[in-house]
Structure 1
Amino acid sequence: MSLTGKVAIVTGSGRGLGLAYAQELARHGARLVVNDVDQQVADDAVAAITAAGGEAVAVVAPVGPTETAKALVAAAVEHFGRLDILVTNAGVLRDTVLWKMSDDDFDTVVNVHLRGTFTCVREAATYLRGQGEGGRIICIGSPTGQRGNFGQTNYAAAKAGIVGMVRTWALELARANITANAVIPVAATAMTETVPFFKDFVDAAARGEQMPPFARRVLGFGTPDDVAGVVAFLASDAAAGINGQAVGVGGDRLAVWSHPQEVTTAFTDGGWSYEALTEDWESLFGDALQSVGQPMPTPPATAGTETAEKVRS
């Protein structure tokens, strides 16, 4: 399914995952509105897309404010005459443990990821509904938003919120033939290069080396290009029947995340008292309690002593 004739906005697309998404969409025929906060980075992204035969323009502005969302949609309409696809990828990190996280640490991350996704999708959805030809909303989540991660209160909250909004938008926009889905990527980027567990694999990718099967299969960890195909697919007509989903991708792995649901239930006449819970909780729910955090398997010896030592630490 070609994307020829389609117009896409990709926020945070000057480098990393966002650039990979924009380039892949362009490769399949879409015309692009690139977004970054750095003029040179945005210009370089546009140049790379046009050098490969695509069409692109840049909007240099931070996502979060409504004004940026309006500027992005206006650029698509002004330069290309329409809008069909929005990919909300822009993000920042301010990692620290709860008791050291400042108001600014929290607000900055939530403003860019969560509010930025909301304002951009609101503006795009308003235009797409008026255009009357359907559309594709693709929002980028994270395993941290699905499972939590030490030191990422702000990021976990924002990414979990994004998936929650996607489920709601899938309901609200369905009648307009606009789908909303989340992609949960795991890839070597500036955001993962600081994670000790992934460092050896990120460094290998930076050197142009093939990641080992342990990374690509067991961890589901790869490069931005491994994720880009899924984004392009969800943007296409071939994905018209996919809506409200959280699709995980990384390395050689593709997955669909489950939505939160009750895993077990119990009833008692008159409701649950403190005494009843104290007596019955363990027998009823002890085996049903859910784990938190992303499980990290121990790498094989062939993955390298240095990596194994980091995992153990």
Structure 2
Amino acid sequence: MDDIELTGKVAVVTGSGRGLGLAYAKALAEAGAKVVVNDVDAAAVAAAVKEIGPAAFGVTAAIGDTASADALVAAAVEQFGRLDVLVTNAGILRDRVLWKMSDDDFDEVVRVHLRGTFTCARAAAVRMREQGEGGRIILISSPAGQRGNFGQTNYAAAKAGIAAMARTWALELARNGITVNAVVPVAATAMTRTIPAFAPVIDEAERTGQPYPDWLRRDEGLGTVEDVTGLIVFLASAAAKDITGQAIGIGGDRLALWAHPSEKAVAFADGGWTAAAIAASFASGVGADLETYGIPAPKPPTA
């Protein structure tokens, strides 16, 4: 399809020295785009640029501050003449339960994920508005940001904030023809490999070269990093010009649209609600069907 083709487009992908970010950068380049590759590790940047080829230019920078964001946008313009697509993938983990999480654990994760998404998107939006030809901003969220996850106060909060920013920026940038969406990927990475139910299956697939089993690809929606890239290319393309403000999940064989928060049940009391009135009616009224929370535990097939 011609509207999926990205020839003439220029993309910046943060955190693209390895893993999902590298897969995104490679897929965008294969679709025809020029790509600015970024990572905090200079060796990873050099290796990624070498792998992608002439369509790539590397910038080594830690994501979070304004200077790094401005440098990425400047590199896109100086090397390739413009900026059309931003993918904010950079992130780190500092997992701890609440009572063991330090200020630094919290601040560092929020700085890279949430503040880094903000600074990069702001710099990209300024450039795209100046160009006056629209653009695509693709923010990387997570199931943890949609449902919460044990030991990930910092990460879940940042990823939830990213989804909220996508909805806000979709409103603010609509007049400029700039779409903003959040992608919720699930793929075999260093993080998912730590999940006991997934690790042996991932290891076995890598050892044998066999595809992941159906229960993993369909029921859990988990596949390779390459399985996620089709959504990135689609959202970067003209085919997605009318899609904005959405949180879209992808992994393995599964593609999903996440619901936005909304009122599930409503009740009214003349004159307002006292604590006693809420206590008397909550369980049989608005609280009759409470929401679940947390990422559901994997359910591998029993022998």
- Please state which band the TM-score falls in when normalised by the shorter chain: over 0.9
Which residue of 1 is the match for residue 91 of structure 2?
91
Is contact 1:186-1:221 (8 Å) kept? Answer: yes
Q: Secondary structure at the match of 2:78?
A: helix
Q: Deviations over 1:22-72 (max 9, x none)?
A: 00000010000000011111000001101xxx5111010110010000000
| Whole-angstrom distance in 1 between the partners of 2:119 and 2:204 | 37
**By how many angstroms is 1:253 displaced?**
0.2
Is contact 1:219-1:296 (8 Å) kept? Answer: no
Which residue of 2 is the match for residue 7 of structure 1?
10
Which residue of 2 is the match for residue 186 of structure 1?
186
Q: 1:57 is matched by which residue type in structure 2?
A: F
Which residue of 1 is the match for residue 280 of structure 2?
279
**Aligned residues: CA RMSD:** 1.0
Choose which of 15, 22, 31 in structure 2 pairs with 1:19: 22
Mapping of residues 242-281 of structure 1, within 5 Å: 242-281=243-282
Q: Secondary structure at the match of 1:284?
A: coil
Choose which of 20, 36, 48 in structure 1 pairs with 2:39: 36
| Whole-angstrom distance in 1 between the partners of 2:298 and 2:93 | 25
Q: Secondary structure at the match of 2:64?
A: coil
Q: Secondary structure at the match of 1:196?
A: coil
Which residue of 2 is the match for residue 124 of structure 1?
124
Which residue of 2 is the match for residue 229 of structure 1?
230
**By how many angstroms is 1:191 displaced?**
2.0
**By how many angstroms is 1:298 displaced?**
2.5
State the percentage of identical aligned residues. Answer: 64
**By how many angstroms is 1:196 displaced?**
1.9
- Are residue 174 (structure 1) and residue 177 (structure 2) matched? no
What is the aligned length?
A: 299
- Are residue 292 (structure 1) and residue 293 (structure 2) matched? yes
Q: 2:68 is matched by which residue type in structure 1?
A: T
Is contact 2:37-2:56 (8 Å) kept? Answer: yes
- Are residue 157 (structure 1) and residue 157 (structure 2) matched? yes
Is contact 2:86-2:124 (8 Å) kept? Answer: yes
* Unpaired segments ≥5 residues, structure 1: 303-313
Q: 2:25 is matched by which residue type in structure 1?
A: A
| Whole-angstrom distance in 1 between the partners of 2:197 and 2:150 | 13
Is contact 2:197-2:300 (8 Å) kept? Answer: no
* Unpaired segments ≥5 residues, structure 2: none
Which residue of 2 is the match for residue 47 of structure 1?
50
| Whole-angstrom distance in 2 between the partners of 1:178 and 1:66 | 21
| Whole-angstrom distance in 1 between the partners of 2:206 and 2:129 | 42
| Whole-angstrom distance in 2 between the partners of 1:269 and 1:283 | 18
Runs of 4+ in 1 over 6 A off after TM superposition: none
| Whole-angstrom distance in 2 between the partners of 1:80 and 1:55 | 9
Q: 1:3 is matched by which residue type in structure 2?
A: L
Q: Secondary structure at the match of 2:223?
A: coil
